[in-house]
């Protein structure tokens, strides 16, 4: 698989949820964990829970995304359901304690701001790991949906989607908004449903799915290469896609749209066990 496919983190599903409320992004959780008493831990958990339950805060969060009257209520319900889940609150609290930030937090507003900022990173990781724990049908639906995303946004966003590791968080957030706004209502419902399924799979401590063996991956890679090469050669002019893979800095933005659509379509269209193995391995590498 090309490196950028692994780099296109399926955690984008989570970024759509968390990015809209982030004001100060954390690059990661670093440093030694600070000691926190059980009462301090419980106080943060309750403060964050109270903030999520505050209608004014939820309204502010969803308005930033500017999704329109049909999508906004569904998006708000999605955020509320995910963040009110006791398992999510426990995971969030554990990560806040581990970050050493707990002593700086006082009250629901601070808990909300810090929780969302760090939550961006947490939910990205949770969703990325959870996607590979979903059923094969859901995994297939994810790849099929992703193949459609490259027709919904302006070409400049395709570059960000295909080069997540090289994009700034601001660019990722802007791209996330553009994707959500471009989705049809049906696509939007499917997108949120898959995201929530992945999050629940990870928070439920479901065991990791057994990954394909080396022999199975050999077969899957062979099948992918054959289908990809055939699809590439069927393009009127494959040079743009090739450029996005071999010389991305010199490639045009539209080249990344064509490449993303082609790669995810091939992954979604692969049949049988080799298709299941290839899709699962791709998600496992991203998580």
Domain count, the chain: 1
Query: DSSP letter at 236?
Result: S
pLDDT at 138 over 50: yes
Question: What is the rounded CA–CA span in Å between residue 6 and residue 227?
Answer: 18
Residue 184 confidence (pLDDT): 96
Q: Which of 76-80, 152-156, 214-218 has the lowest mean pLDDT?
A: 76-80
pLDDT at 24 over 60: no
pLDDT at 285 over 80: yes
Q: Which tokens go with 62?
A: 């969803």
Instruction: Identify the residue whose tokens are 């049908």.
Output: 137
pLDDT at 215 over 90: yes
- Residue 228 located in a structural domain: no
Q: Which tokens go with 74?
A: 């569904």
Residue 101 confidence (pLDDT): 67
Q: Coil, strand or helix: which one is 31? A: coil
Phi, psi dihedrals of residue 211, rounded to the nearest 5°: -80, 155
Query: DSSP letter at 134?
Result: S
- Residue 239 located in a structural domain: no
Q: Coil, strand or helix: which one is 208? A: coil
- Residue 251 located in a structural domain: no
Q: In this predicted model, which residue has the larger pLDDT, 239 or 97?
A: 239
Cα angle for residues 251, 255, 257 (degrees, 5° grid): 140
Task: Give the confidence band of 174 by pLDDT, cuts at 50, 70, 90.
Answer: confident
Residue 177 confidence (pLDDT): 82
Question: What is the rounded CA–CA span in Å between residue 207 and residue 162?
Answer: 29
Are 71 and 79 in contact by the 8 Å Cβ rule? The answer is: no
- Residue 166 located in a structural domain: yes
Question: What is the rounded CA–CA span in Å between residue 178 and residue 186?
Answer: 16
Output Rg (C-alpha) for the chain, integer angstroms.
20
Q: In this predicted model, which residue has the larger pLDDT, 205 or 203?
A: 203
- Residue 281 located in a structural domain: no
Q: What is the mean pLDDT of residues 51-60?
A: 81
Name the percent of the chain in helix, strand, coil, to the closest 5: 75, 0, 25
CA distances from 27 to 30, 89, 121, 174, 214 (A): 9, 21, 8, 17, 34
Q: In this predicted model, which residue has the larger pLDDT, 269 or 104?
A: 269
Q: In this predicted model, which residue has the larger pLDDT, 60 or 77?
A: 77
- Residue 72 located in a structural domain: yes
Task: Give the confidence band of 149 by pLDDT, cuts at 50, 70, 90.
Answer: very high
- Residue 71 located in a structural domain: yes
Residue 26 confidence (pLDDT): 25
Q: What is the mean pLDDT of residues 144-172?
A: 86
Q: What is the percent of the chain where pLDDT is above 70? A: 78
What lies within 8 Å, CB to CB, of 240 at 6+ separation is 251, 252, 254, 255, 258, 259
Are 3 and 160 in contact by the 8 Å Cβ rule? The answer is: no
- Residue 53 located in a structural domain: yes
Question: Which residues form the domain of 172?
Answer: 7-26+34-211
Report the mean per-residue pLDDT for the chain: 80
């Amino acid at each position: 698989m090309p490196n950028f496919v692994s780099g296109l983190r399926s955690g984008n599903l989570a970024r759509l949820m968390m990015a809209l409320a982030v004001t100060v992004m954390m690059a990661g959780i670093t440093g030694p964990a600070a000691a926190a008493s059980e009462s301090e831990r419980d106080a943060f958990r309750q403060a964050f829970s109270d903030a999520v339950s505050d209608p004014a805060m939820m309204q502010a969060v969803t308005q930033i995304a500017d999704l329109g009257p049909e999508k906004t209520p569904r998006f708000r319900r999605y955020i509320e359901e995910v963040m009110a889940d006791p398992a999510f609150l426990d995971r969030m609290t554990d990560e806040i304690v581990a970050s050493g930030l707990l002593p700086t937090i006082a009250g629901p507003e601070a808990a909300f701001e810090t929780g969302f900022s760090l939550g961006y990173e947490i939910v990205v990781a949770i969703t990325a790991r959870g996607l590979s724990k979903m059923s094969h049908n859901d995994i297939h639906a994810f790849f099929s949906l992703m193949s459609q995303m490259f027709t919904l946004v302006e070409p400049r966003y395709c570059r960000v989607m295909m080069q997540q590791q090289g994009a700034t968080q601001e660019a990722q957030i802007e791209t996330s908004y553009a994707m959500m706004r471009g989705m049809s209502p049906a696509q939007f419902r499917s997108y949120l449903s898959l995201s929530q399924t992945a999050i629940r799979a990870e928070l439920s401590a479901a065991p990791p799915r057994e990954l394909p063996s080396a022999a199975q991956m050999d077969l899957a890679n062979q099948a992918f290469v054959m289908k990809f090469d055939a699809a590439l050669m069927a393009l009127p002019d494959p040079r743009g896609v090739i450029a996005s893979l071999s010389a991305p800095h010199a490639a045009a933005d539209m080249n990344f749209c064509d490449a993303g659509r082609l790669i995810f379509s091939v992954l979604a269209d692969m049949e049988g066990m080799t298709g299941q193995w290839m899709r699962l391995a791709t998600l496992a590498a991203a998580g």
